[in-house]
Structure 1
Amino acid sequence: MKYALITGGSRGIGKAIAISLASELNYNILLTYKNNTEAAENTQQEIERFKVKCDLLKFDVANAEETTEVLKKWEEKNPDAKIEVIVNNAGITADGLFMWNSTEDWNKVLQTTLNGFYNVTHYFIQQMLRNRYGRIINISSVSGVIGTAGQTNYSAAKAGLIGATKALAQEVAKRKVTVNAVAPGFISSDMTKDLDEKELKKQIPINRFGKPEEVADLVCFLASKKAAYITGEVININGGIPT
């Protein structure tokens, strides 16, 4: 039974990606989330309308022990499951000028993005290599490509994810496992709801925020067999913001 795993998939971009992979590529979905059970269950119901399974796993991807424990239990309950796609989407912000960043704000942002990528991907990478097939898609950000003032921690985390993408892609390509990053700009979601959209649109040539579904369409393509010759790439989806 073929699965696509999406971390931080209960809302926003992660939710749109999960729905797209279920509806367009007919994947069963393994959806991870940290806190919002109600949102996760609502997403699960939407996904299962497409006649696929959607399993929910509640854990913190930044916690190595917890991640391994939860994923191992799921594997034991689903011995026939095969993870073909991993979308490392989980991420948080703790914005503020670097001079005021606390150690906690620095660590929690980097740990969720980078340790989360490591903990989840490392758990399944040998399975993908044995199966000689896989799609790993890391959700970076325009902040990781060009940097954003007030987001030094977030920019560092997302830029680190780009470096990991490019290195891992070279290691696993011969086993038909591709690794790519997607770098969204301003996308309408909970993470951007408090931003001054009217003012920020002036920076975007297309003159609007993107939709989660537009990011999901790109991820869905990268997860498909049509993208077999694309690996180690960072694809910007930001409405034309110069990078």
Structure 2
Amino acid sequence: MSAGALTGRRILVTGASKGIGAAIARTVHRDGAEVAVHFNSDEAGATALAAELGERVHLVHGDLSDREAATEIWAAASSAMGGIDTLVNNAGAWIASPLEAEDNRAAGSDAWARGWDANLQLNLLSAADLCRQALLDFADHGGGAIINMTSRSAHRGDDAEHLAYGAAKAGLLSLTKGIARGYGHLGVCAYAIAPGWVDTGLAAGAVSDEVLAGLPLREVTPPEDVAELVAFLASGRARHLTGSTIDVTGADYVR
């Protein structure tokens, strides 16, 4: 993408204080977009990012574990930018949902239920609620784009401790396809991106040397690779990719 390719675009990026979200905010801002940087607990990271980028950046706070937050986040971002053209649902968390605790089956049952509730809310329901706000808004303003961050786990499932995470991401993948099919005639395009291991704080603690040696490129994906794809999709230069899922795994997982 070239500088200025997103000039005039107004983009809301959730979970943008660090990691993939921060890389997305930097990239779309570089290309000329106005960006609403959503954050929850990492105010320092979001503030530092806003200071780094300078103009055309707005900070939006909201806790997406709260079912009411999506409406408030959308309203705040839309007010700050005078509207939203593109929603990037990046916020999420890899939350365990253990079948049972080793020393207490009852406690394990509670952890199972809590894990499912948290995964569904953060990785699916909050994104669905933001998609709803986007669709209501886009229908009145000639369309827009929705880019949902899913995971390779949406295709292959996740490990035994994270069954709920994989199921939630699969739900988000299906939601994206349904939006593309149901709202394309209103000018709405919807895309899903399914990364594997990405070079963020989470990967640094979870990718062992053995795992790294087994990756085809012998490296985890740089977050900038995901960000460049988001910028391209947000540009409107490939509208007929709507409904597609694009895997960004360095060939670690292929379909």
Q: Do the structures match in fold with TM over 0.5? A: yes
- 2:132 counterpart of 1:122: yes
Which residue is equivalent to 1:13?
Answer: 20
- Deviation at 1:203? 3.5
Which residue is equivalent to 1:214?
Answer: 225
Residues 143 and 151, structure 1, Cα contact 8 Å, conserved in 2: no
Local SS of the residue matching 1:151: helix
Which residue is equivalent to 1:95?
Answer: 96
Which residue is equivalent to 1:61?
Answer: 64
Q: Are residues 213 and 191 of structure 1, via their aligned partners in 2, closer, same or farther at CA, if it must alter by over 3 Å?
A: same
Which residue is equivalent to 2:40?
Answer: 34
Residues 189 and 242, structure 2, Cα contact 8 Å, conserved in 1: yes
Whole-Å Cα distance in 2 between the matches of residues 33 and 81 of structure 1?
20
Which residue is equivalent to 1:153?
Answer: 164
Amino acid at match of 1:156: A
Alignment of 1:69-148 (within 5 A): 69-73=72-76, 75=78, 77-78=79-80, 81-95=82-96, 97-99=98-100, 100=108, 101-148=111-158
Aligned length: 237
- 2:201 counterpart of 1:190: yes
Aligned with 2:215 (options 201, 204, 211): 204
Whole-Å Cα distance in 2 between the matches of residues 15 and 216 of structure 1?
9
Whole-Å Cα distance in 1 between the matches of residues 75 and 179 of structure 2?
23
Local SS of the residue matching 2:68: helix
Local SS of the residue matching 1:125: helix
Whole-Å Cα distance in 1 between the matches of residues 228 and 61 of structure 2?
25
Local SS of the residue matching 1:8: coil
Amino acid at match of 2:113: T
Instruction: After superposing the two structures, state which structure 1 stretch, 6-15 or 147-156, moved more.
Output: 147-156
**TM-score normalised by length of structure 1:** 0.90
- Deviation at 1:178? 0.6
Residues 13 and 21, structure 2, Cα contact 8 Å, conserved in 1: yes
Local SS of the residue matching 2:246: strand
Q: Are residues 82 and 73 of structure 1, via their aligned partners in 2, closer, same or farther at CA, if it must alter by over 3 Å?
A: closer
Identity of aligned residues (%): 28
Whole-Å Cα distance in 1 between the matches of residues 192 and 72 of structure 2?
27
Whole-Å Cα distance in 2 between the matches of residues 205 and 2 of structure 1?
36
Supply the RMSD in Å over aligned alpha carbons.
1.8
- Deviation at 1:174? 1.2
Gaps of at least 5 residues in structure 2 are 1-7, 101-107
Residues 197 and 209, structure 1, Cα contact 8 Å, conserved in 2: no
Whole-Å Cα distance in 1 between the matches of residues 202 and 28 of structure 2?
22
- Deviation at 1:103? 1.2
Whole-Å Cα distance in 1 between the matches of residues 167 and 204 of structure 2?
22
Residues 2 and 81, structure 1, Cα contact 8 Å, conserved in 2: no
Residues 195 and 248, structure 2, Cα contact 8 Å, conserved in 1: yes
Whole-Å Cα distance in 1 between the matches of residues 207 and 123 of structure 2?
25
In our comparison, the structure showing a higher alpha carbon Rg is: 2
Amino acid at match of 2:75: K
Local SS of the residue matching 2:204: coil
Residues 19 and 46, structure 1, Cα contact 8 Å, conserved in 2: no
Amino acid at match of 1:115: L
Amino acid at match of 1:118: A
